[in-house]
Structure 1
Amino acid sequence: MRLLAVGVLVGLGATGCDDDEVDVPPVTQQNIVQVAQGNADFSVLVAAVTKADLATTLSGTGPFTVFAPNNAAFAKLAGGPLDAFSSAAKINAVTDANQIAALRGVLLYHVLGANVTAGDIAAGASTSTTARPASAPGVNDNSIYLTKAGNNVFINGGTRVVTADIDASNGTIHAIDNVLLPPSQTIAGIVQSSATASPAQFTLLLQALSRPAAQALLTTAAANTSNITVFAPTDAAFQAALTALNLQNVNQIPDATLVGILQKHIIGTGRVFSSDLAPGNVPTLNGNVTIAAAGNGFTVRGGSGTAANITAANILATNGVVHVIDQVLLP
């Protein structure tokens, strides 16, 4: 009877499948957290996600897109205000509830509530709202700004996607080379805080914006509803311009001249990051400025005077973006 049973089973097996068919067990795809845990270059990110209590969320159904800073990106935070987040060991040692909440906010700024592959990102400039809650109604501190040129994708101007489309069961990971930091000030706030910092910067720009004739421009720079780009001259740039105009101080600049100069530094049509710039003319509130390539960056020229170098780019504000320049743009 045992021989007969074995024979029947063998016969059933022979008639149930072809000789060359192989049964392959189904592969269970890993979720975003599991994929990150399996990648040594995301070890700091995994420590951060764990500390911020986001592992369960990012293991959920989703879908999610995570712009994932690699370990080298986190290491760039060393020595700065966010030094506590620059390595896995430092993150693991954090116990302060406010620091943990800040870390959670930074991480959520890297997450989209949809599955977005590189192919889904539109060519040119686009905007996405992140999973980070806005800090207050009407404050835009939870959006990221994408620039796609060919196969290159940049975020907030200076951050590059270095590895795209790492697939997970609940979404997609894109590895990036910087930690994205949400903005915390308006453009006016950035100018004012820089003017009172040590060393101080933008003191002359603040003096110019504080003139009664420039009140409307200062209001725009302070409004949460604005969406502008400002080329911000350094104090040395303003001093050189005063010398060229044979003036001793900002208060000696005639009202109409002052307003015309300041308007030349403002693009009123949106955030233009360095990754959006290309050689050619760009309209400002007072005519065009001319953008030209210079090494790995760009210069900006007004109607007259010396072309300005962009010495620090992509300072993100809640209402726009600032590029620091070393010459005043003259109409």
Structure 2
Amino acid sequence: MEKFNLTTLMKRLTALAMVAVMFVVTGCGDDDDGGEPAPTLNLYETMSAESDLTQIKAYVDADADLKAMLEGSTEYTFFAPNDAAFAKLETLLGTGLETVAPQIVSQVLMFHFAQGAKTQAELTGSSVVTEQGESVVVDANGNITTGGSDDEVLITKGDIRATNGIMHKVETILIPPTIYASIGVNLGKLSQAVLLSANFTTLASAVAKADTYAADNSLPTITSYLTGDTEYTLFAPTNQTFEAINSDPAVVLAAYTAQQWYGILSNHFVADDGNGADDNVTVDEAELTTGATFTTKAGATLQIFNNTAAIPADNGVGIYIDSNGDVDLGDSGTYTNFDAEVALLDAFEGANGKLHVIAGVLAPPM
């Protein structure tokens, strides 16, 4: 039997102390600087685990590049709008984000990501450049001032750590300042329906091309009709109409010069319904009767035919439009010359007029 002595006891205590220190050091290696367990989920998995981030997850799932970002090794600060943020934006726009033009949605989404993992404390009183190119600014109180309609966006839950960054939940969808400036001009106007909508992206591109001619010739732009205070009735063809001409929007746009597009698009606007008996200048459904005529901004005449007994509804409600004068309402043999059918009445009504969706293009007489 080993003899007990003080020297032996001290050696054993020293050995136990070293083992204890090793356990402590090893245990600390599993934690982050705040003493919390190191994250095991990437940003995509972290987002997916949150029950109130279902809508932003749906947009990420629909974008392979964005999903790859959240699953990759590059660190990001991710401002994740919760489901309530999407509801708030829908109230603002009067429609969901899914109806907004894809190129705008893409820029808005990328505005929620900045390279580098920044904690809420590190963000406070500073700014970060996002993947969209503009900066998210955080004030001294830790609130985001670049939220578009909300200039004091709360981070409802911050510092949610992932293996490839940090996620902060926010109560508002963040909109890049330049885009919000455009949205602010368009809200409640015909331009909201045309320039911001996913359904009219080809028409919006045609407007941009026509406006180059207007600017070069000191003429009112098509955009000014859409955004101004004067009320108009707009007969608007959707992407589907242009796709029937050619599936490639670039081919459709190249088919006409800027000057021709200016004339064509001007022919889709009516400034006065010609009815002094009502209290508005827009063309209502009741005024779209057979034989009714309306003068367009191009100076041409739109002639209406509303008789489904003679021509059954095809792509809409059975209201047909002749835009270039080659239909004789007294000669049914000319009915194949109608240029468009009204597809959806009163699709949008705003502060400066209303929009009827049409299947067709209203080119003026050549």
TM-score over 0.5 for the pair: no
- What's the TM-score bracket when you normalise by the shorter of the two chains? 0.3 to 0.5
The structure with the largest strand share of the pair is 1
Tell me the TM-score normalised to structure 1 length.
Answer: 0.44
Query: Relative contact order, CA 8 A, sep 6+: which one is greater?
Result: 1
Higher Cα radius of gyration: 2
